[in-house]
């Protein structure tokens, strides 16, 4: 078991704190030519004449992940400096928010235990997994021209959002600029976790 950092957006931190998010997907880098996991849950990058190069998952079951999130330091001279977090919807700090990538370990307040790591194509995500990813039907991503489905009981209502499409929109808002759109269906690590109490 080891301890490692993991980045989450403010919305996903809120979903973790609400108990809605228990899963995340991370792009496998570099993308493998084909998938054939071995007993250690590694992936071959390529089958070469002189052997196979393996890709190890970034996390293993039992690992403890400390969440990096958007943060700041409350430098009130009347008290000891303390950390504040954008996910708490508090006031805007005088010095502005600091990016999650720069959050030190000592500022971490959320810790996750990895339960399972699997490999799958991004588009293999199910509606059940979308919910475990923390996507809620009230999220903006679910309402952004991504396919409404009229309900059986009220076909004229405009329907209900399709959560999978909301996930695709959310994924693209983060990953398109990195070259891994939902449409491109990259191989991903599917990581299940639970919040440590």
- Tokens standing for 138? 């009230």
Q: Are 116 and 192 in contact (CB under 8 A)?
A: yes
**Which residues does the chain have with pLDDT short of 70?**
34, 36-52, 77-81, 137-161
Q: Are 29 and 36 in contact (CB under 8 A)?
A: no
> pLDDT tens across 123-138, in order?
999 989 999 999 875 5
> pLDDT tens across 147-171, in order?
444 444 444 555 555 788 888 988 9
H helix runs in 18-162, sequence order: 127-132
Nearest to 23 by CA among 146, 151, 118: 118
Nearest to 69 by CA among 108, 106, 111: 108
Residue-range domains of the chain with CATH: 3-44+52-195 (2.30.130.30)
Strand partners, 55: 43
């Amino acid at each position: 078991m080891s301890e490692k950092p993991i980045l989450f957006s403010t919305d996903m931190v809120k979903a973790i704190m609400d108990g809605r998010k228990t899963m995340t997907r991370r792009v496998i880098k570099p993308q493998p030519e084909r998938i054939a996991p071995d007993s250690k849950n590694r992936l071959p990058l390529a089958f070469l004449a002189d052997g196979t190069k393996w890709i190890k998952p970034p996390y293993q079951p039992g690992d403890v992940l400390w969440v990096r999130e958007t943060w700041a330091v409350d430098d009130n001279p009347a008290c000891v400096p303390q950390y504040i977090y954008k996910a708490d919807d508090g006031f805007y700090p005088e010095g502005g928010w600091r990016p999650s990538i720069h959050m030190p370990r000592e500022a971490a307040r959320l810790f996750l235990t990895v339960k399972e790591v699997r490999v799958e194509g991004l588009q293999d995500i199910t509606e059940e997994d979308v919910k475990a990813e923390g996507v809620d039907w009230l999220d903006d991503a679910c309402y952004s021209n991504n396919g409404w489905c009229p309900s059986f009981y009220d076909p004229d209502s405009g329907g209900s959002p399709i959560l999978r499409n909301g996930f695709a929109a959310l994924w693209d808002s983060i990953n398109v600029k990195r070259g891994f759109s939902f449409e491109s269906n990259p191989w991903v690590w599917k990581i299940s976790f639970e919040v440590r109490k």
